[in-house]
Amino acid sequence: MTRFRTLLHKELLRFWKVSVQTVAAPVLTAALYLVVFAYALEGRVRMYDSIAYTDFLVPGLVMMSVLQNAFANSSSSLVQSKITGNIVFILLPPISYLEFFGAYVLASIVRGLVVGLGVLAVTVWFVNLEVKAPMWALTFALLGAGLLGALGLLAGIVSEKIDQMAAFQNFVIVPLTFLSGVFYSIHSLPEFWLRLSHANPFFYMIDGFRYGFFGLSDVSPAASLAVVSASLVAVSLVCIALLKSGYKLRH
């Protein structure tokens, strides 16, 4: 446990020491999204026939920030360690692959939740939100941050350069996030895009988290929970297998 705590402490310090970049900047970005979209669409669009667009938008922005920053934390940390060569100081001590996985993913969850709470604290001044099912919201925030932390670790393992990791984020994570219903309800989409959205696991994280606020969602929260949980288990098993084999970590 001392090995695990030490590595976790190191990962937490890594993002907290540059919190202006890792926490404040994402919060500002989400606030700008809210201002721009609320100004452009407020009064023109309503969701679920009873929810103002700005109210609908806030949980999506919070969850989007949680997911993107959880991914960024583990992926950037591992890739930077591989490039600078200090990964050797993590691999040499008797740290098990499970401790390695747990420390990186847990630190990613913490960063994701810190940024998410920051976004919520800033945007709550623009809206009047009621959290009708807080345990559902918390569950999806934790599972979503864990899934993206594990996915970031996976990207960090297979990437050897910053641009490879950035390509994974720009061409996989960002499109899946933006097409997950952050800014709209998928029921407003044409049939083809509606079906395609159901194949996107990010949609279930956003939709389940939004259910925690409004008690309304596009699909059953239980179904969303099953999809997100299965995705987390699958990605975690792949990560653990790669860590155990030392793939692209031990040369």
How do the domains of the chain map onto residue ranges?
2-245
Q: Is residue 16 predicted with pLDDT exceeding 90?
A: yes
The pLDDT score that the predictor gives to residue 45 is 57
Structure tokens at 159: 């990437």
Nearest to 101 by CA among 230, 3, 24, 212: 3
Q: What does the pLDDT look like over 49-91, one tens digit per residue?
A: 678 888 888 999 999 999 999 999 999 999 999 988 888 888 8
Report the Cα–Cα distance between both ends of the chain, in Å, rounded: 27
Percent pLDDT > 70 in the chain is 95
Contacts with 76 (C-beta within 8 Å, 6 or more apart), sequence order: 152, 156, 165
The pLDDT score that the predictor gives to residue 89 is 84
pLDDT band at 43 (very low <50, low <70, confident <90, very high): low
More confident residue, 9 or 34: 9
Mean pLDDT, residues 223-244 taken together = 96
Give me the sign of the Cα torsion angle 164, 195, 148, 150.
negative
Amino acid making up residue 128 = N
The pLDDT score that the predictor gives to residue 44 is 57
Percent pLDDT > 90 in the chain is 62
Query: What distance in Å separates the CA atoms of residue 174 and residue 190, rounded to the nearest whole number?
Result: 22
pLDDT band at 192 (very low <50, low <70, confident <90, very high): confident
Radius of gyration over alpha carbons of the chain, in Å?
18
Contacts with 195 (C-beta within 8 Å, 6 or more apart), sequence order: none
Mean pLDDT, residues 168-197 taken together = 85
The pLDDT score that the predictor gives to residue 46 is 57
The residue to which tokens 């098990």 are assigned: 96
Q: Is residue 231 predicted with pLDDT exceeding 70?
A: yes
Model's pTM, two decimal places?
A: 0.93
The pLDDT score that the predictor gives to residue 37 is 78
Mean pLDDT, residues 167-181 taken together = 89
Share the mean pLDDT of the chain: 90
3-state secondary structure of 2: helix
